[in-house]
């Protein structure tokens, strides 16, 4: 008996000796940190000389086959692999030259927060497990909500991004209005043509794509036409349908247009609609005086989404949903399970697990809290004001270069295109976009609105300053002349 116990212990010890490699010694940690820090510091020190876009590396053949083998590989070798195969190809999203889609940049101090969160590995799903972490996340949500003008008993969740945050809001709205499958046929949802596609995806995920979906036309500034909306709601009621949800955009991705939030808020109240605002892009402009005027009415919403990985320049993976009545959010998401019974009595604070589909989650609050406290809020506000000015600057200068422009920028997206009566304009502009990609110094993206092909810049990376905007203008001057 004791013999067999001894041999069992020997077996366990042998496994332990090998498993313990997963827990590096202080000395090994220091060496690994040095390697990683040297690599990341070199990257940041050279960033302004690196291309913003690199077309190479898209063919799978150029990838060295990655090996998952029993033996360890040196950090040097792995970092080299990352440099060649991950950092080089595609969009350099950390670069200030990135003005495509909606950039953010990824402030460095957030990476330090991520590092700490991963090292502690606090279980940020339930209050019982990590009261400090949950209080921190809820404080960030409260700060964001107050910034948007929310007061009283609101609550939210720090999700992975705007898409999941919008899904949480839509699910909450459905539950709050008690809408069941059998009601879908008569239930109406309103949004503009310019709603972000993730909202439509979320409706599908929630099963709500079986409702009556009303795409409200835009006015000349690409905002939802509130007059048409109002008429549509009345018509729908008259024909026996049930208007349920109005989804507005506060900063559309295509053009940065802000739907008339104040008016839409009033219509929603009069018509008993759930009013959701997707402010993933525009929300944090509330930090600026200009933004808070333009987003007037956002506080009339029942739920709202903002993306700190856009407007607060955090690394990708952070989107916040806020719901005006905490109970609505909780009722749509909380759940009990026997193996979670020990956590039940600890619910003074709303736990993230009761406010989202997630249970185990990354402690995302840490990456947001550390930068906000380390830098203070002022540089974030200045950075957003700088972007508003840069967008106006770009708009003026691109006009002077002879490009046609879309509406004057509401936030920091500018639409523009080269016009030529004698030639196919869409083709000309596609060629300019291609030349920018091939060149790679700076990056922009394109869109099509009402069949018209537009070049667009979105100035939101915290590293986009006058230098980068001038570089963009230089390239556009060069490539439009070459046509």
Ligand X SMILES: *Cc1c(COP(=O)(O)O)cnc(C)c1O
Give the nearest distance from C-beta 156 to ligand X in angstroms.
Answer: 15
Q: CB nearest ligand X: which residue?
A: 162
Phi, psi of 106 (to 5 degrees): 95, 80
Interface ranges with ligand X (CB under 6 A): 102, 161-163, 196, 198, 249, 251, 253, 278, 280-281, 307, 319
Q: Name which of 395, 380, 386 is nearest 311 in CA terms.
A: 380
To 10 degrees, the CA torsion angle through 281, 212, 219, 232? -140
Q: Are 381 and 289 in contact (CB under 8 A)?
A: no
Which residue, among 323, 285, 308, has the nearest Cα to 173 in the 3D structure?
323
Nearer to ligand X, 315 or 440 (CB): 315
The residue among 52 and 194 lying less far from ligand X, judged by its C-beta, is: 194
What sign for the dihedral angle of Cα 203, 209, 212, 216? positive
Give the three-state DSSP class for 474: helix
Contact 243, 236 (CB under 8 A): yes
Q: Which is nearer to ligand X, 131 or 317 (CB)?
A: 317
In this complex, which beta carbon is closest to ligand X, that of residue 280 or of residue 370? 280
Beta-carbon contacts of 237 under 8 Å, excluding residues fewer than 6 positions away, are 243
Instruction: Name which of 450, 395, 409 is nearest 221 in CA terms.
Output: 409
Query: Taking the complex as a whole, how short is the minimal distance between the CB of residue 281 and ligand X, in angstroms?
Result: 4
- Our CB check for ligand X shows the closer of 304 and 471 to be 304
Task: Give the other-Cβ count within 10 Å of 411's Cβ.
Answer: 28
**Could you tell me the two tokens for 40?**
């990341």
Q: How far is the CB of 252 from ligand X (least distance, A)?
A: 6
Closer residue to ligand X (CB): 162 or 440: 162
Pick from 125, 215, 162: nearest CA to 170: 162
Q: Which is nearer to ligand X, 278 or 410 (CB)?
A: 278
E strand map for 270-318:
274-279, 303-306
Compute, in degrees rounded to 10, the torsion defined by CA atoms 247, 203, 171, 286: -30
C-alpha span between 186 and 126 (Å, rounded): 38
CB of 200 to ligand X, least distance (A): 11
- Least separation in angstroms between residue 251's CB and ligand X is 6
CB of 99 to ligand X, least distance (A): 14
Q: How far apart are CA 418 and CA 432, in angstroms?
A: 9
DSSP 213-247: EEEEPB-TTS-B-HHHHHHHHHHHHHTT-EEEEEE
Beta carbon of residue 93, minimum distance to ligand X (angstroms, whole number): 12
Q: Judged by CB, which is closer to ligand X: 211, or 247?
A: 247
Shortest reach from residue 375's CB to ligand X, in Å: 22
| Shorter beta-carbon distance to ligand X: residue 319 or 409 | 319
Q: Is 414 helix (H, G, I), strand (E, B) or coil?
A: strand
Cβ-proximal residues to 425 (8 Å cutoff; 6+ apart), any chain:
417, 418, 419, 453
Q: How far is the CB of 355 from ligand X (least distance, A)?
A: 17
Using alpha carbons, select from 145, 135, 139 the residue that is nearest to residue 346. Answer: 135
Q: Which is nearer to ligand X, 187 or 253 (CB)?
A: 253
Q: Give the burial string for 237-262 (b: 16+ CB within 10 Å, else e).
A: eeeebbbbbbbbbbbbbbbbbbbbbe
**Residue whose CB is less far from ligand X, 403 or 462:** 462
Do the Cβ atoms of 298 and 149 come closer than 8 Å? yes
Residue 251 or 371: the one with the smaller Cβ distance to ligand X is 251
- Are the CB atoms for 459 and 412 separated by under 8 Å? yes
- The distance of closest approach from Cβ of residue 201 to ligand X in the complex, given in angstroms and rounded to an integer, is 10
Q: Residue 280 Cβ, how far from ligand X at the closest point, in Å?
A: 4
């Amino acid at each position: 008996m004791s013999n067999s116990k001894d041999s069992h212990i020997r077996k366990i010890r042998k496994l332990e000796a090998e498993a313990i490699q997963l827990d590096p010694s202080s000395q090994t940690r220091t060496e690994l940190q040095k390697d990683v820090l040297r690599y990341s510091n070199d990257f940041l020190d050279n960033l302004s000389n690196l291309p913003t876009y690199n077309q190479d590396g898209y063919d799978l053949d150029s990838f060295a086959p990655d090996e998952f083998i029993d033996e360890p590989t040196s950090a040097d070798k792995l970092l080299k692999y990352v440099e060649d195969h991950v950092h080089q190809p595609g969009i350099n999203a950390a670069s200030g030259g990135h003005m495509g889609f909606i950039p953010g940049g990824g402030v460095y101090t957030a990476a330090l927060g991520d590092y700490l969160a991963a090292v502690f590995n606090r279980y940020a799903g339930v209050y019982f497990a990590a009261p400090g972490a949950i209080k921190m996340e809820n404080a960030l949500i409260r700060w964001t909500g107050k910034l948007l003008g929310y007061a009283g008993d609101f609550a939210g969740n720090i999700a992975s991004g705007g898409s999941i945050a919008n899904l949480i809001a839509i699910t909450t709205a459905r539950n709050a209005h008690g809408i069941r499958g059998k009601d879908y046929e008569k239930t109406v949802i309103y949004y503009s043509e310019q709603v972000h596609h993730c909202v439509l995806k979320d409706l599908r995920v929630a099963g709500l794509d079986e409702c009556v979906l009303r795409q409200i036309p835009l006015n000349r500034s690409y905002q939802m036409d509130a007059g048409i909306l109002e008429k549509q709601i009345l018509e729908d009621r008259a024909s026996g349908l049930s208007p349920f949800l109005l989804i507005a955009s506060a900063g559309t991705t295509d053009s940065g247009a802000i739907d008339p939030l104040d008016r839409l808020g009033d219509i929603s109240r009069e018509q008993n609609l759930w009013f959701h605002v997707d402010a993933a892009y525009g929300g944090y402009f509330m930090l600026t005086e200009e933004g808070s005027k333009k987003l007037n009415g956002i506080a009339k919403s029942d739920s709202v989404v903002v993306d700190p990985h856009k407007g607060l320049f955090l690394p990708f993976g952070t989107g916040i949903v806020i719901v005006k009545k905490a109970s609505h959010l909780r009722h749509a998401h909380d759940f009990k399970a026997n193996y979670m019974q020990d956590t039940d009595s600890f619910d003074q604070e709303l736990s993230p697990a009761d406010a989202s589909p997630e249970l185990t989650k990354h402690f995302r609050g840490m990456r947001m809290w550390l930068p906000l406290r380390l830098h203070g809020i002022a540089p974030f506000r200045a950075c957003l004001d700088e972007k508003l000015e840069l967008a106006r600057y770009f708009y003026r200068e691109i006009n002077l270069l002879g490009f046609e422009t879309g509406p004057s920028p509401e936030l920091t997206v500018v639409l523009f295109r080269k016009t030529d009566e004698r030639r196919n304009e869409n083709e000309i502009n596609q060629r300019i976009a291609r030349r920018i990609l091939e060149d790679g110094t700076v990056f922009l993206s394109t869109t099509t609105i009402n069949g018209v092909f537009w070049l667009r810049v979105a100035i939101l990376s915290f590293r986009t300053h006058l230098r980068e905007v001038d570089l963009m203008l230089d390239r556009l001057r060069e490539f439009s002349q070459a046509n």
